[in-house]
Structure 1
Amino acid sequence: MPKKSTKSKSKRVPLKQKHKVIRKVKEHHKKKAKEAKKLGLNRKPRAEKDPGIPNDWPFKEQKLKALEARRARALEEIELKKVARKERAKKRKLGLVEDEDTKTEEGYGEGKSGDDSTRLVSVRDNSENAFKKELKKVIELSDVILEVLDARDPLGTRCTAMEGMVAEAGPNKQCVLVLNKIDLVPREAAEKWLKYLREESPAVAFKCSTQEQRSNLGWKSSKASSKPSSVLQTSDCLGADTLIKLLKNYSRSHELKKSITVGIIGLPNVGKSSLINSLKRAHVVNVGATPGLTRSLQEVHLDKNVKLLDCPGVVLLKKSSANDASIALRNCKKIEKLEDPVSPVKEILKLCSTQMLVTLYKIPSFEGVDDFLYKVATVRGKLKKGGLVDTEAAARIVLHDWNEGKIPFYTMPRRGTKANTQSQRLCQSWLRSSTSMRFTVVNHLLLGV
């Protein structure tokens, strides 16, 4: 047998040898440091001290004042730049400004940074003008106009300016009011509002489908709503058969064409796109709780005789009332873009009872809007840096709950309220139509909720 090698094959270094190497390295570094210290290589140059202004100089006080003023101006410019940078970042985050930094780099400079507000107003005006053009186009192309109203506040979501545009478009334009979201109000309130609105113009109750499947959205018959069952609380659509019968009747009228175009108008977030999806029984247009989701005219063929036109929501208000809290309560403006979210919450506190808000948000009793927002922010954990309570974030939470229907609220028609002149004119033009068509329309309307 061959002899085994007695030589170790391990490459490990003994501790004695290892510590010896470490000691030699330390001694070498210490020797190099001593040599560098003798030669003065690591010596840092001393900064020369400013001798300052001599006391004997006659203009010393004037010079010191001038230096102090220059330093104050420099600090003020730095603070202004910081504030402008924060405002630009905030507006860019909200989507109000696009490519502003590239504009300044191309030659606008810092001198025009004060024109941001006017530039934002012009951009907003351009978008509103574009939406108004789409609204006029829908009214011109349509034979029948469906104005969608929110059942919680029909008068607040009814726009007489739009009805005036329909009346000015021609006497052959038929306008029908659709009372949407009837599942968010009691049955008695919906019936009274239908009775009130039908005194002025044709009105139909409607509930959009809340199902999430792509197609085959469910329907419920209007006759089934007379039963004492909770039909309104289902996810199926309600009132579609009544509305389609009404549209078919208009298409069979002698005064109109065999195939008609139906335009759907109304304020933002009243359910125009959801109504189209419910009638089509498929998700053909985008829907969402965000106002302004529909940006342009959309065409949907219901069948060979009826064509639907979806219109972006337009708020026809005066510039003086552009910042009114009622716009936020109608969800006509994005909550993230509200400059003052606290004012709409004040209106909510006037409309809703204190006990209901205390139960909903699980907070103790409060006094005033500031105390209410403070307690909501504390419960929801909305805090700023340093542990300060963020009341604006709490106000946006309340507004989101209001727009999504989590805060129960509805209005009732006032007794003795006279119909406005515009509505009377529309109702008279409808009554001047053919007798057979009018009685058929009345029969169909009576099938509603």
Structure 2
Amino acid sequence: MKRPKLKKASKRVSCAKRYKIQKKVKEHHKKLRKEAKKSGIKKRTKKDIGVPNSAPFKEEVLKEAEQKKQELEELKEKNKLAKQKERAEKRKKGKETAGAEEEPKTKKAKKAEKAKVQREARAAVAKEKSTKAFRCSELKKVIEASDVILEVLDARDPMGCRCPQLEEAVLKHEGGKRLFFVLTKIDLVPRDSLQNWLGYLQAECPTFVFKSSTRLQDRTVLEKKQADVNGTVDLSRAGASYGCNSLMQTLTDLASKGDGESMLKIGVVGFPSVGKSSIINTLKGSRACIAGVPRGLTKCMQEVHLSKKVKMIDSPAIVAAPCNSGVNMALRSLQIEENEKSPLEAVKTLLRECNQRQIMLEYSVPNYRNSLEFLIFYAKKRGFLQKGAVPNTEQAAVTFLNDWTGAKLNYYSKVPERQSLPPYLTEAMVTELRTGLDLDKVKMANEHIITRIRSPYASSSILFNSKGMTDGLLSFTEVPAETPASVDEEQQEEDIIEETEDAKQIEDPEEAETPDTHTVQTQKSQQKSSRKRTKGKAKPAFVNIDVLASQQKSDDAYDFNTDFV
């Protein structure tokens, strides 16, 4: 069916066309006004024709008009004066209100200054509490006030968590204090390694295995009763603890054997991030102490009452001595938190003590040449990117260190061969530490916990080369003026050479070849021996850069004098 022909065209136009027409009309009117202004044409005002002569009572009409005109002028003058008077009054009121508001402003300023002073005082106190001298003094207070000292050891590296200076100070104290070991984070260690370490440590001191609870505890008695009545477990919370009953029963037995009036004071000591505050929170059943992934959260000693006869004392972390190895300083010190050391250097020292293949399997990264390349791969995998998709190696290094010090990564260290007791520990001291304890009961409880807990396999864990005990500082005067280097000069030279070679390989991956491991070791040994021979006798090396001479000596050089047909 054909559409019938319209008689009239539609007046509808597009918006663009309508706006264009309006713009053109506006410009046209503007142009006309400009031309009229240039030619001097002005709009004539209408002339008052006045009163004609033929009108009756002309004089009276003119007088009346004159009188109205004067009245209008007088009214305008009155309005003008009234407005001026009103403005003057407003100015006067504004000055009075400004003078009245000056006092509240001064009060606000005083309050702001007072708040600023309080903030500065708090910052100064926090800074003082974070100093090494304050931590050493607080640790001494805990040792003096405690009857029993619990040295908390990370089960992944128990020997690295031991402090010989602390153990000697406790065992040789005049008050006859007891020393117990507590192995924490036992769910991150293979079962065989945990059993071996337990047997090794029990030969020196009574040892307890422990796994802290990380779930949100019920804060009130009513919530606990409701949970018991319902009999349900909130799966959103983490698992329960292990070893809590055994340790608490032992401490209660010791408290009951002492004086009935005095309480048994137990000090919990150890290096950063070994789980001191978590043990107290688990035994208490609530969050009595601050605990978390960052190291050094506990700043001062804190007393927590577990029962009428037992009281726990939380302490700040032991200050690691600067004479320790780089690995121990990376894991057991607060140099990174205090901006004394870069996390990149700490990651480099840790990777040197681990198997590269195990690190690659654990973190799902490809083969890497050095620590920097590993951090680049790890940052890309975790999405730690800066502006322009640049990998944030600093954030990746901090996360890597948090995995090693926190309760996340599975790694273990080998148990050393038993040679002899430490020089500060004797057989008499060992027997004295064991008196008053039901060792068979403690041993059975530890074995029961080890069989119940879910442990990782050795194949899925990282083997870590422990560097032995970590030296600590019990007084700030022991800190030397100049901290000795943790790595000798030859090791530093080798690291610099390796970094430069790895950097060249990263820049030119196509030119890099994969030589045999035997040849690489021989080359490194030759370089090392040459550096030892030429140490202190370095001479500048001259290189011939004459290209024409090199071309003349080579057999394959092209001869331009010959012509080919």
Normalised TM-score (structure 1): 0.63
Does residue 296 (structure 1) correspond to residue 300 (structure 2)? The answer is yes
Match of 1:379 in 2: 381
Conserved 8 A contact 1:182-1:205? yes
**What's the CA shift for 1:240?**
1.4
**What's the CA shift for 1:365?**
2.0
Match of 1:155 in 2: 159
Match of 2:361 in 1: 359
Match of 2:263 in 1: 259
Query: Which whole-Å CA distance do the structure 1 matches of 2:33 and 2:396 have between them?
Result: 67
Match of 2:316 among 312, 319, 324: 312
Change in Cα spacing, 1:406 to 1:302, as seen in structure 2 (3 Å) is: closer
Matches within 5 A, 1:161-310: 161-215=165-219, 235-254=239-258, 258-310=262-314
**What's the CA shift for 1:146?**
0.8
Query: Which whole-Å CA distance do the structure 1 matches of 2:302 and 2:258 have between them?
Result: 27
Match of 1:428 in 2: 428
**What's the CA shift for 1:258?**
4.8
Cα deviation 1:109-138 (Å, max 9, x = unaligned)? xxxxxxxxxxx9xx6897111111111111
Q: CA RMSD in A?
A: 3.6
Matches within 5 A, 1:24-39: 24-25=29-30
Query: Which whole-Å CA distance do the structure 1 matches of 2:377 and 2:394 have between them?
Result: 12
Normalised TM-score (structure 2): 0.51
Report the more deviating stretch, 338-347 or 252-261: 252-261
Change in Cα spacing, 1:355 to 1:324, as seen in structure 2 (3 Å) is: closer
Change in Cα spacing, 1:440 to 1:125, as seen in structure 2 (3 Å) is: closer
Query: Which whole-Å CA distance do the structure 2 matches of 1:28 and 1:327 have between them?
Result: 86
Conserved 8 A contact 2:320-2:329? no
Q: Give the number of the structure with larger relative contact order, counting CA–CA contacts within 8 Å between residues 6 or more apart.
A: 2
Query: Which whole-Å CA distance do the structure 2 matches of 1:17 and 1:309 have between them?
Result: 85
Cα deviation 1:373-412 (Å, max 9, x = unaligned)? 2322333344455555443333233223323344321112
Match of 2:131 in 1: 127
Query: Which whole-Å CA distance do the structure 1 matches of 2:320 and 2:22 have between them?
Result: 90
Change in Cα spacing, 1:249 to 1:443, as seen in structure 2 (3 Å) is: farther
**What's the CA shift for 1:254?**
4.7
**What's the CA shift for 1:198?**
1.4
Change in Cα spacing, 1:316 to 1:364, as seen in structure 2 (3 Å) is: closer
Conserved 8 A contact 1:266-1:314? yes
3-state DSSP class of the match of 2:150?
strand
Match of 2:406 in 1: 404
Query: Which whole-Å CA distance do the structure 1 matches of 2:34 and 2:260 have between them?
Result: 102
Query: Which whole-Å CA distance do the structure 2 matches of 1:27 and 1:193 have between them?
Result: 102
Match of 1:438 in 2: 435
3-state DSSP class of the match of 1:421?
coil
The structure with the largest alpha-carbon Rg is: 2
Q: Percent identity?
A: 33
**What's the CA shift for 1:356?**
2.8
Query: Which whole-Å CA distance do the structure 2 matches of 1:383 and 1:30 have between them?
Result: 64
Conserved 8 A contact 2:129-2:135? no
Count, aligned residues: 328
What stretches of structure 2 of length at least 5 have no aligned partner? 1-17, 39-115, 117-123, 225-237, 448-565
- AA in 2 matched with 1:176: F
Does residue 345 (structure 1) correspond to residue 347 (structure 2)? The answer is yes
Query: Which whole-Å CA distance do the structure 1 matches of 2:182 and 2:419 have between them?
Result: 20
